[in-house]
């Protein structure tokens, strides 16, 4: 079904990328079908080979189609097909052509990519009949025919398509003769017929194209019936080896007749459909002038190939159904049940009908199909059995006679073939695959040595290259904005910031000190936000800073207090170099941005915050309204991080230091009474403050994020003062539920606006008179903010409490976090 | 002023990167925190430096750019969550591997590489 859908998709897509997608789908489904008997290594290898070859071709095709789309400026098939002139005069025409052809050739098993098709015959016989003779390999031909109007008509098209087709035709026909396996014979004959069709398309006359399409139809009918006949023989006798299968005529005369008719059609015997298209083919080879004075070569080679086709068809008939007695067959053959023969009967009747009454049967289909390929005027052509005595007929006759002659004298040819060195495509392919794998493995080993530091250095180096290089191309670093003068406060702030940062680095070995220094940096950053008119940011930074430092301190309890000295001086020097270069680059970019005039889209937000979002604090309105979807995503990330931490910390093999790094035991008094009482009385105050910050957030600095952080810090203080057991005794909150309800509330507020016919997350607001409070604005955004608040509280507390819980050495009861 | 601001960002980035390149987990976490400060400041600076401008509608005629502020605000909170996650991973790594080296343990990792070969 998948395969059918994909094939239909290829045929019906009008977008080249879509076409490519279905194309790949056929590759994958055929891979699955070939490996149907997954327990056989032969089937698995064949499937892998088919996938590798067609997949590689598919990539080439994608490249070609992209190029075509780029040249034309549209990925619509109609547009591409209509712009032949543009494509062919473009510089990249050759590349695009070669890539598209590669895709088509690999799919249709054209020489030299033919080798996967015989190995794909490891599939069950009906699958082979369906996939590899009738449909999938025709996809490549279809592609050639589809792009014929756009790509064909040049010297290069002929050289590539025609010669590939010719080579495939000859090669396939020649090899088919020597195959002992029935399906192998059919596989190579399929390759050869595909070559014939390709050659016809390459000949590049309109009649040749008609002939190609005619042959596609004919080939599908007779080859499918042959495959099914093979299936029956395989089923009845248990072997497909032609050296054992002899004299089947006596056991299954009915099947034999059917198969013989089909094989005759393949050979191109008159009164059958194969004859007609072959005749057209011979006629076309005579009419072309593409090789200049050497053009006579093509009809001659075509006749030779025709002779081989007759020879292998004769072998199929003679070796299987006559030629003495069968040699130790696994089973005694007899006529197959009726229903197995029905499909063959239908197809063979079709062969004969088309062969005898061509104008009734296929004329209309053929002209419709040819019209689709050629696009415009149909050439004059006649489908009749008898064209009179002419050169093509003579060629046919020569082919039949020559073929029979070859078959009769096949012993000598077989000996000759046996004396040639055998080239096993499968072995070669596997060796190639192995060497590629080995090469990749060695590359992986050399780049991926498991050192995080090395990866980081490489990454940072790339960053440096990409970010630093454009700086050199800039004319001038500083922009045109007037500089603001430095005042004392700023200078002091910046000085503290820089000192804090450098001190962190200097003392990074003793971790506690480094952490304290880092907190200076964080503090200075929040002061900086205040200074530069960003009170919301300052509040957030301050509260986050508190939470971060508490978290890191807790973490230090489980980590060594000091960092051992490991890096060599050279390494430190290298790292210093990298670090300072990156710092310089970033600082330069920052400076360049700062000194250029600002052209912001914020005017829109400022103008619409009050009227559209109903709040005067633009930052908060942006968060909960204009970019509410972002915020929703961000609180989800927060929630996920908290849950992840919870999971990582559960069932951790605990490492609890009994004393600090200098061997002193921990203080006996775990929860100082002073801290406990003060923090307890502070809690309601802190909650009040956070409620206030939360409520005013829409109009004045504040909002859900900050209020949430303030609340969390108040609770963290309780944890620190009393320990987690004390807290859980008093109120047993499940933080996971808080996070979930927070995200849920935010989500439903957004969905709510749908019920009023508005887009997701539209804010509704109005003013109400509430007794004792006065005229108050109520906005739906506040509900959204409530969701944000709950998520922040839940996530922060969950992170800190789950870490803090681990330090409580009280008998572990199931703590509900 | 702009120069001072830019150099502050530069120093933060340099220190952060240097700490990031250390071999133990805790300095790496410190470095990440430092870099996230720097990134926030950097993003904030795309609204240009504005002193004493109005942030709330109706309190002045000239407004500070609210968009970078809003973006940085969420970035700060997310940054906290990420720092927390990394530090917890570090603890778990220490507990599971018995070392706080970023590659597991320096001695062990070499052996593992050999085994793979």
How confident is the model over A595-619, as pLDDT tens digits?
A: 888 777 777 777 777 776 677 788 8
Give residue B115's pLDDT band: very low, low, confident or very high (50, 70, 90). Answer: very low
Q: How many residues comprise chain B?
A: 117
Of all residues in chain A, what percent carry a pLDDT higher than 70?
A: 84
Could you say which of A540, A584, A602 has the minimum Cβ distance to residue B77?
Answer: A540
Tens of pLDDT, residues A344-357: 788 788 777 777 77
Of B98, B43, B17, which is closest to residue A532 (Cα–Cα)?
A: B43
Pairwise pLDDT comparison (A583 vs B55), residue with the higher score: A583
Q: What is the pLDDT of residue A660?
A: 59
Closest Cβ opposite residue A648 in set B24, B44, B88: B88
- How many Cα neighbours within 13 Å face the side chain of A736? 9
**Is residue B43 within 8 Å of residue B69, measured between CB atoms?**
no
Supply the pLDDT for residue A216.
Answer: 82
- For residues A742 and A635, the answer to whether their CB atoms sit within 8 Å is yes
Cα dist from A430 to A116, A162, A437, A569, whole Å: 12, 30, 10, 49
Per-residue confidence band for A386, with pLDDT thresholds at 50, 70 and 90: low
pLDDT given for residue A384 in this prediction = 58
Task: Tell which wins on pLDDT, A93 or A762.
Answer: A93
- Kindly report the number of other CB atoms within 10 A of residue A345's CB atom: 14
Average pLDDT over residues A644-663: 70
In three-state secondary structure terms, B68 is: helix
Residues 6+ apart with CB under 8 A from B16: A579, B31, B32, B33, B34, B35, B37, B38
A51 touches B: beta carbon within 8 Å: no
Query: What is the sign, positive or negative, of the torsion defined by CA atoms of A682, A688, A691, A697?
Result: negative
3-state class (DSSP) for residue A601: coil
Burial code (b: 16+ CB inside 10 Å, e: under 16) for A752-772 equals: bbeeeeeeebbbebeeeeeee
Give A300-334 pLDDT, tens digit per residue. Answer: 888 888 888 888 888 888 878 877 677 666 667 77
ipTM of the complex: 0.85
- Judge whether A314 is closer than 8 Å to chain B, CB to CB: no
Assess whether pLDDT exceeds 50 at residue A472. yes
Q: Residues 746-805, chain A: which have Cβ within 8 Å of B?
A: 792, 795-796, 799, 803
C-alpha A552/C-alpha A804 separation (Å) is 11
Q: Is B35 on the interface with A (CB under 8 A)?
A: no
List of chain A residues whose C-beta atoms are within 8 Å of the C-beta of residue B117: 445
Residue B108 has pLDDT above 70, yes or no: no
Q: Which residue of B has its CA nearest to A700?
A: B56
The Cα A203–Cα A215 span in angstroms is 14
Report the pLDDT value the prediction gives residue A764, as an integer from 0 to 100.
64
Q: Within 10 A of A811 (CB to CB), how many other CB atoms are there?
A: 6
Q: Tell me the whole-structure pTM to 2 decimals.
A: 0.59
B108 in contact with chain A, both atoms CB, cutoff 8 A: no
Cβ atoms within 10 Å of B39's Cβ, excluding its own: 18
What pLDDT sits at residue A300? Answer: 83
pLDDT of the residue at B38: 92
Residues B55, A502: C-beta atoms closer than 8 Å: no
Task: Tell me the residues of chain A between 436 and 495 that have a Cβ less than 8 Å away from chain B.
Answer: 445, 449-453, 456-457, 460, 481, 483-486, 490-491, 494
Closest CA to A385 of A358, A425, A348: A358
Say yes or no for a CB contact (<8 Å) between A528 and B41: yes
**If you average pLDDT over every residue of chain A, what do you get?**
78
The pLDDT of residue A739 is: 87
Query: Tell me, what's the pLDDT at A768?
Result: 61
Residue window 698-737, chain A: list those with CB within 8 Å of chain B: 699-701, 705, 709
Which range in A539-543, A771-775, B52-56 is most confidently predicted, on average pLDDT?
A539-543
Residue B113: the pLDDT is 46
Where does the pLDDT of residue A504 fall: very low under 50, low under 70, confident under 90, or very high at 90 and above?
confident
Total residue count of chain A as it appears in this document: 817
User: Per-residue pLDDT for A195 more than 70?
Assistant: yes
How far apart, in whole angstroms, are the C-alpha atoms of residue A785 and residue B73?
14
| Residue burial A532-560, b: 16+ Cβ < 10 Å; e: rest | bbbbbbbbbbbbbbbbbbbbbebbbbbbb
Q: Are A786 and A752 in contact (CB under 8 A)?
A: no
Instruction: Using the Cα atoms of residue A614, residue A619, residue A620 and residue A621 in order, give the sign of their dihedral.
Output: positive
In eight-state DSSP terms, residue A810 is S
Convert the pLDDT of each residue in A418-448 to its tens digit.
Answer: 666 666 666 777 788 888 888 888 888 877 7
Exposed / middle / buried, residue A443 (Cβ in 10 Å: 0-12, 13-18, 19+): exposed
Interface subset of B 53-92, CB within 8 angstroms of A: 53-58, 63-67, 69-70, 72-74, 76-85, 87-92
Alpha helical stretches, state H, A322-424: 338-356, 358-361, 363-374, 391-408, 410-419
Distance CA A196, CA A200 (A): 6
Q: Do A529 and B67 touch (CB under 8 A)?
A: no
Note the pLDDT of residue B111: 43
State which H helix or E strand residue A77 sits in: helix A77-82
User: Cβ of A641 under 8 Å from any chain B Cβ?
Assistant: yes
What whole-number distance in Å separates Cα of residue A37 and Cα of residue A27?
17
B-chain residues near A653 (CB < 8 A)? 95-96
Cis peptide bond upstream of A112, omega within 30: yes
> For position A131, what pLDDT does the model report?
65
The Cα A671–Cα A808 span in angstroms is: 11
Between A508, A544, A701, which is nearest B55 by CB?
A701
pLDDT in tens, A688-742: 888 888 888 777 887 888 888 888 888 888 888 887 777 777 777 788 888 888 8
Predicted local distance difference test score (pLDDT) of residue B109: 45
The closest CB to that of A637, out of B81, B91, B106, belongs to B81
Q: What is the secondary structure of A266-306 as a DSSP string?
A: HHT-TTSHHHHHHHHHHHHHHH--TTGGGTTHHHHHHHHHH
Per-residue confidence band for A360, with pLDDT thresholds at 50, 70 and 90: low
Q: Out of A109-118, A569-578, A648-657, which region has the weakest mean confidence (pLDDT)?
A: A648-657
DSSP for A99-145, please give it. HHHHHHHHHTT-TTSTTHHHHHTTS-HHHIIIIIIIIHHHHHHHHHH
> Across residues A628-638, what is the average pLDDT?
86
Q: For an interface test with A, which of B72, B77, B86, B110 has the most A Cβ atoms less than 10 Å from its Cβ?
A: B77
Please name the residues between 541 and 600 in chain A that touch chain B, using a CB distance below 8 Å. Answer: 541, 544, 547-548, 551-552, 555-556, 558-560, 563-564, 566-567, 575-576, 578-580, 582-584, 586-588, 590-591, 593-595, 598, 600
- Whether the CB of A627 is below 8 Å from some CB of chain B: the reply is yes
Q: Which helix (H) or strand (E) holds A516?
A: helix A511-531
Q: Which residues of A touch B61 (CB under 8 A)?
A: none
Chain B interface, best mutation among A516, A594, A603, by max B CB count within 10 A: A594
CB neighbours (10 Å) of residue A323? 16
Taking the C-alpha atoms of residue A629 and residue A253, their distance in angstroms, rounded to an integer, is 75
Please report which confidence band the pLDDT of residue A810 belongs to, taking 50, 70 and 90 as the band edges.
very low
Contact A592, B22 (CB under 8 A): no
Residue A208: the pLDDT is 79
Question: pLDDT tens digits, residue range A26-70?
Answer: 888 888 887 777 777 777 877 888 888 888 888 888 888 888 888
- Specify the pLDDT at position A816: 42
Asked whether A79 and A145 are in contact (CB, 8 A), the reply is: no
How much is the pLDDT for B117?
Answer: 43
Chain B residues within 8 A of A485 when measuring between CB atoms = 1
DSSP A723-792: -HHHHHHH----HHHHHHHHHHHHHHHHHHHHHTT--TT---EEEEEETTTEEEEEETHHHHHHHHHHHH
CA dist., res. A640 & res. A632, Å (int): 12
At residue B114, the pLDDT reads 47
3-class SS of residue A15: strand
Q: How does residue A669 score in pLDDT terms, banded at 50, 70 and 90? A: low
Which chain A residues contact residue B84 at CB under 8 A?
Answer: 548, 551, 641-642, 645, 799
Average pLDDT over residues A178-203: 81
- B14: Cβ–Cβ under 8 A, 6 or more apart, which residues? A579, A580, A582, A583, A584
Task: Measure A142 CA to nearest chain B CA, in Å.
Answer: 47
Q: Which of A452, A508, A511 sits opposite B102 (nearest CB)?
A: A452
Please tell me which residue of chain A has the smallest CA distance to B52: A533
- Quote the CA–CA distance of A150 and A145 in Å, as a whole number: 10
Chain A residues 596-625 within an 8 A CB cutoff of chain B: 598, 600-602, 605-606, 609-610, 616-620, 622-623
Is the Cβ–Cβ distance between A351 and A273 less than 8 Å? yes
What is the model's pLDDT at position B36? 92
Q: Which of A201-205, A732-736, A778-782, B106-110 has the lowest mean pLDDT?
A: B106-110
Confidence tier at A362 by pLDDT (50, 70, 90): low
Q: Is A661 on the interface with B (CB under 8 A)?
A: no
Give the whole-angstrom CA distance, residue A129 versus residue A426. 22
pLDDT for A122:
66
Do residues A617 and A536 lie in contact, with contact meaning Cβ atoms separated by under 8 Å? Answer: yes
> Taking 60 as the threshold, does the pLDDT of residue A475 lie above it?
yes
pLDDT higher for A671 or A812? A671
Test B4 with A518 for CB contact under 8 angstroms.
no
């Amino acid at each position: 079904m998948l395969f059918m859908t994909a094939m239909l998709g290829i045929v019906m897509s009008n977008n080249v990328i879509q076409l490519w997608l279905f194309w790949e789908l056929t590759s994958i489904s055929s891979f699955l079908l070939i490996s149907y008997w997954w327990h056989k290594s032969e089937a698995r290898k064949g499937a892998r080979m088919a996938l590798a070859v067609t997949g590689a071709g598919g990539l080439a095709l994608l490249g070609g189609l992209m190029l075509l789309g780029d040249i034309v400026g549209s990925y619509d098939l109609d547009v591409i097909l209509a712009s032949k002139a543009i494509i062919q005069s473009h510089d990249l025409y050759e590349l695009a052509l070669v890539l598209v052809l590669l895709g088509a050739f690999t799919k249709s098993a054209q020489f030299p990519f033919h080798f996967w098709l015989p190995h794909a015959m490891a599939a069950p016989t009906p699958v082979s009949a369906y996939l590899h003779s009738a449909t999938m390999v025709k996809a490549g031909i279809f592609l050639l025919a589809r792009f014929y109007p756009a790509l064909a008509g040049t010297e290069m098209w002929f050289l590539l398509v025609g010669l590939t087709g010719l080579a495939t035709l000859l090669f396939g026909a020649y090899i088919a003769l020597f195959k002992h396996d029935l399906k192998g014979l059919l596989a190579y004959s399929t390759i050869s017929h595909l070559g014939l069709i390709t050659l016809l398309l390459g000949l590049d006359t309109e009649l040749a194209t008609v002939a190609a399409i005619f042959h596609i139809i004919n080939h599908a009918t007779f080859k499918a019936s042959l495959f099914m006949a093979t299936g029956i023989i395989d089923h009845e006798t248990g072997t497909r080896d032609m050296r054992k299968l002899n004299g089947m005529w006596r056991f299954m005369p009915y099947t034999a007749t059917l198969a013989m008719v089909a094989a005759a059609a393949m050979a191109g015997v008159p009164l059958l459909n194969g004859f007609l298209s072959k005749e057209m083919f011979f006629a076309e080879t005579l009419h072309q002038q593409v090789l200049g004075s050497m053009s006579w070569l093509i009809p001659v080679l075509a006749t030779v190939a025709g002779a081989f086709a007759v020879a292998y068809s004769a072998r199929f008939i003679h070796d299987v159904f006559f030629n003495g007695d069968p040699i130790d067959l696994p089973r005694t053959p007899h006529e197959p049940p009726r229903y197995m023969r029905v499909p063959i009967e239908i197809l063979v009747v079709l062969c004969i009908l088309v062969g005898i009454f061509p104008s009734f049967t296929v004329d209309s289909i053929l002209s419709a199909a040819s019209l689709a390929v050629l696009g415009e005027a149909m050439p004059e052509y006649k489908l009749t059995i008898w064209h009179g005595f002419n050169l093509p007929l003579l060629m046919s006759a020569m082919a039949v006679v020559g073929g029979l002659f070859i078959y009769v004298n096949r012993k000598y040819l077989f000996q000759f073939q046996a004396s040639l060195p055998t080239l096993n495509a499968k072995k070669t392919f596997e060796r190639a695959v192995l060497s590629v794998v080995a090469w990749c493995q060695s590359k992986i080993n050399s780049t991926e040595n498991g050192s995080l530091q090395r990866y980081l250095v490489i990454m940072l180096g790339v960053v440096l290259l990409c970010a630093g290089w454009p700086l050199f191309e800039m004319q001038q670093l500083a922009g045109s904005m007037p500089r603001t003068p430095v005042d004392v406060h700023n200078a002091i702030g910046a000085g503290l910031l820089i000192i804090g940062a450098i001190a962190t680095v200097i003392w990074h070995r003793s971790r506690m000190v480094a952490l304290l220094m880092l907190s200076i940096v964080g503090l200075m950053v929040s002061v900086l936000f205040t200074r530069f008119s960003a009170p919301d940011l300052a509040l957030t930074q301050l509260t986050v800073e508190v939470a971060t430092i508490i978290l890191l301190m807790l973490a230090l309890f489980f980590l060594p207090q000091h960092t051992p000295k490991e890096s060599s001086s050279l390494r430190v020097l290298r790292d210093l170099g990298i670090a300072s270069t990156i710092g310089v680059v970033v600082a330069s970019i920052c400076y360049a941005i700062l000194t250029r005039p600002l052209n912001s889209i914020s005017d829109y937000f400022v103008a619409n915050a009050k009227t559209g979002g109903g709040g005067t604090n633009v930052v908060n309105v942006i968060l909960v309204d204009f970019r509410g979807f972002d915020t929703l995503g961000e609180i989800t990330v927060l929630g996920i991080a908290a849950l992840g931490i919870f999971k990582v910390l559960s069932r951790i093999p605990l490492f609890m230091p009994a004393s600090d790094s200098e061997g002193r035991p921990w203080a006996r008094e775990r929860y100082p009474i002073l801290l406990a009482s003060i923090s307890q009385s502070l809690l309601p105050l802190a909650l009040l403050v956070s409620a206030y910050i939360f409520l005013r957030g829409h109009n004045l600095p504040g909002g859900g994020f900050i209020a949430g952080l303030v609340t969390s810090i108040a609770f963290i203080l309780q944890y620190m003062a009393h320990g987690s057991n004390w807290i859980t005794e008093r109120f047993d909150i499940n933080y996971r539920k808080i996070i979930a309800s927070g995200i849920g509330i935010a989500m439903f507020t957004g969905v709510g606006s749908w019920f009023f016919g508005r887009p997701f997350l539209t804010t509704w607001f109005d003013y109400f008179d509430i007794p004792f409070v006065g005229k108050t604005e109520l906005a739906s955004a506040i509900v959204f903010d409530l969701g944000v608040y709950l998520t922040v509280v839940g996530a922060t507390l969950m992170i800190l409490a789950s870490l803090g819980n681990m330090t409580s050495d009280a008998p572990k009861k199931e703590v509900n976090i | 002023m702009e120069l001072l601001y830019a150099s502050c960002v530069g120093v933060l980035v340099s220190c952060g990167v240097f700490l990031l390149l250390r071999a133990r987990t805790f300095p790496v976490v410190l470095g990440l925190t430092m870099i996230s400060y720097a990134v926030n400041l950097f993003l904030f600076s795309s609204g240009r430096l504005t002193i004493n401008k109005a942030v709330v509608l109706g309190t002045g005629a000239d407004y500070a750019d609210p968009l970078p502020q809003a973006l940085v605000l969420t970035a700060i909170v997310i940054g906290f969550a990420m720092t927390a996650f990394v530090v917890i991973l570090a603890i778990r790594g220490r507990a599971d591997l018995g070392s706080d080296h970023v590659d597991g343990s320096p001695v062990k990792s070499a052996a593992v590489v050999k085994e793979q070969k």
